[in-house]
Amino acid sequence: MMNFSYTRATTVGDAIEAVAGDPHARFIAGGTNLVDLMKYDVERPGRLVDITRLPLKDIEDTAEGGLKIGALVPNSDLAYDTRIERDYPLLASAILAGASAQLRNAATTGGNLLQRTRCYYFYDAGVPCNKREPGSGCPAKTGVNRIHAILGASDSCIATHPSDMCVALAALGATVHVEGPDGARTISFEDFHRLPGDSPEKDNTLAHGEMVTAVELPAPRFGKKHTYLKLRDRLSYAFALVSVAAAVELDGDVVGEARIALGGVAHKPWRVPEAEALLKGKLPSSSAFEEAADRLLKGAAGHGENDFKIELARRAVVRALFQAAAGTPQVQSSKIVN
């Protein structure tokens, strides 16, 4: 772990100024991912700017009937917030599917968006990785890649985004509020994370010095017709091989609107509006769900050890859509997939 200097910010403006002016400076909040990466010399910031005492810890109602979640709201507080439990149970469920209770207590809303891939090679400073050291190569492509991307990968990187929460936020159509040296802006959730392309070192579209200040949820929809289904190598405390956030609005007997987002399969939560549109007007059925799954997974390609994820994702999407349409969401403490 490299040494670094430390300052504690008292205002958002001070924090941004401190980081924007120093290319080696980074914000730190929950630290659950950054401190870990620093111990393994994957992240080597010269200065950390502590933002934990900034006033970004509230969950506020918006004029549009949604909620604006402060970037420093801990994951667990968000999951157990009564408004989230009541109006956005998909989000609550996805959060509770991730990490451990201790980590959720420390990790923040903004930090969850910014957590970095769990690619084995990214995490090992002793080996090449294009994400960690651009141009050094990607051993994962021909190496151990059972956890890697099947969608949207590039020649230079096949890493996945590890978040569960973000998969739900993608499905719900959240908006990210950021502030930077050039002022504030909002980013739609699908534009927040990016695909690796030729610059896998960039996980998202934030500029240096920009800080996530809040995540905004649109007015609630879907009622109980949602689910978060996570499949992994042990029954808890493991990253997703494949996860699915699904939500369905029925119009009589047929699907009015559907949302499907996949986790564990790409460099960002994977959403394909065309796949969702295919469900519109259809009766919930295996064939309709399979068609949507196939569209969602169009172009999916494995790298050997992760070929299975394509079929696993297909089956998981179908099951998740059944769970959502029936209004019987997966309960994260129950390991029976209903």
Partner 1 sequence: MPQDARSAPEPVAVTLSVNGETHSVEIPPSATLLDVLRERLHLTGSKKGCDQGQCGACTVLIDGRRVNSCLQLAVMNDGREITTIEGIGTPEHLHPLQAAFVTHDAFQCGYCTPGQICSAVGMLDEGHAHGPEEIRELMSGNLCRCGAYTNIVEAIEEVRRAREAPTLKAPTLEAAE
Partner 2 sequence: MSNVHPYVGRAHPRVDGALKVTGRAKYAAEFFADGMVYAAAVPATIAKGRIVSIDLSAAKSAPGVIDILTHENRPELPDSDEPYLNDMVAVPGSPFRALYNDRILYSGQPIALVVADTHENARHAASLVTATYEAETPTVDVAEARHEAYDTFEPRDGIPPPPPPRGDAEATFKGADIKLSESYRVAPEHHNPMELMATTVIWEGDGALTIHTKTQGVNNPKNYICAVLGLDPGKVRVTSPFVGGAFGMVLRPQYDLLVATMTAIKLERSVRLVLTRGQMYTMGWRPDTLQTVALSAKEDGELTSISHHAIQATSQFEDYQEPTVNWSGLIYDCPNVSLKYELAKIDVSTPSDMRAPGAALGVCALEIAMDELSYRLGMDPLELRLKNYAEKDQNDDKPFSSKELKAAYAQGAEQFGWKDRDSRPRSMRDGKELIGQGMATGCWEAMMQPHGGRATLSAEGKLEVACGTADIGTGTYTILAQIGADALGLDIDDVTARVGDTSLPMAPPEGGSWGAASAGNAVRVACTALKEELLKAARGLHDSPLANASLEHVSFANGKISLVSDDEKFVTFGDAVRGSGSADVTAEAMFEPDEDFAGKYASYTHSAVFAEVRVDEQLGVVRVTRIVSAIAAGKILNLATARSQILGGVVMGIGMALHEETMWDKALGRVVNANLGEYHMPAHADVQNIDVIFVEEDDKANPLGVKGLGEIGIVGAAAAIANAVFHATGKRVRDLPITIDKLL
Nearest 10 degrees: Cα torsion 98, 101, 106, 112: 10
Cβ neighbours of 65 (radius 10 Å): 11
Pairing of strands 175-180, 211-217: antiparallel
- Sheet containing strand 47-50, edge to edge, reads 5-8, 47-50, 25-28
CB of 314 closer than 8 Å to CB of 294: yes
Minimum distance, C-beta of residue 296 to partner 1, in the bound complex (Å): 28
What residue ranges bind partner 1 (CB under 8 A)?
Answer: 1-6, 8, 24, 28, 31-32, 35-36, 38-40, 44, 46, 48, 50, 52, 76, 80, 99-103, 105-106, 235-237, 332-334
Instruction: Find the binder of partner 2 among 66, 78, 319, 330 (CB under 8 A).
Output: 319
Pick between residue 50 and residue 305 the one whose CB is nearest to partner 2.
305
Q: Does 135 bind partner 2 (CB under 8 A)?
A: no
Q: Does 6 bind partner 2 (CB under 8 A)?
A: no
For partner 2, the binding residues in 222-241 under the rule CB under 8 A are: 231, 233-239, 241
Q: Which residues are within 8 A (CB) of 308 and not within 5 positions of it... i.e. 6 or more apart?
A: 146, 302
Q: Does 127 bind partner 2 (CB under 8 A)?
A: yes
Q: Which does 303 bind (CB under 5 to 8 A by kind): partner 2, partner 1, none?
A: none
Q: Which residues bind partner 2 (CB under 8 A)?
A: 1-3, 39-41, 118, 120-121, 123-124, 126-127, 139, 142-144, 146-147, 231, 233-239, 241, 308-309, 311-312, 315-316, 318-319, 335-338
